[in-house]
Structure 1
């Protein structure tokens, strides 16, 4: 495995690992985002096994000792598995997540006390303003959430719009169609009564870039992509009721 590093928005670096054995024959990307600022943030830690690769790639962008914040959408091995390895490598860093995630898991799992954010609270990292959006069960996990970077309109949406394959780091092509196909294969999203509503809430922010955990990040009309996914999820939820 190797790490491909691409700047997908101003000061936002996508560290991507392609694993062909996952979801064959297309394979699967695992993406991690380094958000530069006065107090840089890593969004998605990656698994414990990927830590050495990712740490080496991140250190080519910023000194690891400068890393101030570590976060992820929900508690899962590919999103938070190497959290404590990052805390050890970055002595000044602190995990930051929603209040629920801290209360339920992270206050116990993290080697240093995390910072809890309320829904809608903004974390100013100097040059970037990251608003925490609590999205319980969307895409999955009670503590799930996302960050919206207000300066450049980047939505860090985790497993939302997941799609298989190894596409470009950033695309203007359709990502919702491939995401629906992948969802029909994996059945990974929670089709809860609030799923469509949470996706519509994100769409209302009119993001210009969607930073996806799996697949190509998207540049363009992020609201339209999220609304299309919301319509699919609402239909699925109704069909399963």
Structure 2
């Protein structure tokens, strides 16, 4: 295996590892680095992938330059390598929403975390990252996503997950493959929170959606999120 590095927006890097042993067609795990005066890493990844991913980050910046780390929710591929990152990036502060800090991060992290309010912006110096609480979207009570305002990049965690290998970017449809994956592996609960949360993200009108499992989408992100919201609305509608 190897971790490939691609710049998907100005100063935003996709660190992608394809694991062929998962499922019939393999599975892609992506972390993202926002390079700025105070760089930020989104998704810690699994502990087993830390050597590959950390070496990929070193191709862009020295690890000691990293200042912020965060993820969407507690899960092995999201947060497994948390403390390996904190040991290697000695100046980095782990951050998460208040719920995540309350239920797991304060206890699990080897350094005190920074709790972020819903809609709070971290000014990284040249980049601005907004934290958005998205409970149970894609899953887990502590879930949240981030939006980098200067490049219009939404880091969507497990939303729009696709199976198989993936190119760094695509302008092709990401909604159909996402619905097919969700039907095969129903990882996101179809609750009354789902569609309104997706529509809130759609209102940001992102031009880039950085998928954790799949390619990075370039195009009308608002339309893609609205279509996914419509799908969840339909699932909850009476027959």
- TM-score with structure 2 setting the length: 0.98
Q: Give secondary structure in 2 for the equivalent of 1:101.
A: helix
> 2:61 — aligned with what?
62
Superposed counterparts of 1:44-59, under 5 Å = 44-59=43-58
Superposed counterparts of 1:47-126, under 5 Å = 47-126=46-125
> 1:43 — aligned with what?
42
> 2:7 — aligned with what?
7
Q: Deviations over 1:122-171 (max 9, x none)?
A: 01111110111000011100000000111110001100111112121110
Alignment root-mean-square deviation, CA: 1.0
Residues in 2 aligned to 1:238 and 1:20: alpha-carbon distance in whole angstroms: 37
Please list every run of 5 or more consecutive structure 2 residues that lacks an aligned counterpart in the other structure: none
Q: Give secondary structure in 1 for the equivalent of 2:155.
A: strand
Q: Deviations over 1:181-231 (max 9, x none)?
A: 100110001111110000000000000000010001100000011011111
Residues in 2 aligned to 1:178 and 1:156: alpha-carbon distance in whole angstroms: 18
Q: Does 1:21 align with 2:21?
A: yes
Q: Deviations over 1:44-80 (max 9, x none)?
A: 1110000011111111110000000011111111011
Residues in 1 aligned to 2:12 and 2:77: alpha-carbon distance in whole angstroms: 19
Aligned residue-pair number: 239
Q: Give secondary structure in 2 for the equivalent of 1:158.
A: coil
Deviation at 1:239, TM superposition (A): 6.0
Query: Compared with structure 1, are the counterparts of its residues 193 and 91 closer, same or farther at alpha carbon in structure 2 (3 Å cutoff)?
Result: same
Query: Compared with structure 1, are the counterparts of its residues 183 and 108 closer, same or farther at alpha carbon in structure 2 (3 Å cutoff)?
Result: same
> 1:193 — aligned with what?
192
Q: Give secondary structure in 1 for the equivalent of 2:87.
A: helix
- TM-score with structure 1 setting the length: 0.97
Please list every run of 5 or more consecutive structure 1 residues that lacks an aligned counterpart in the other structure: none
> 1:32 — aligned with what?
31
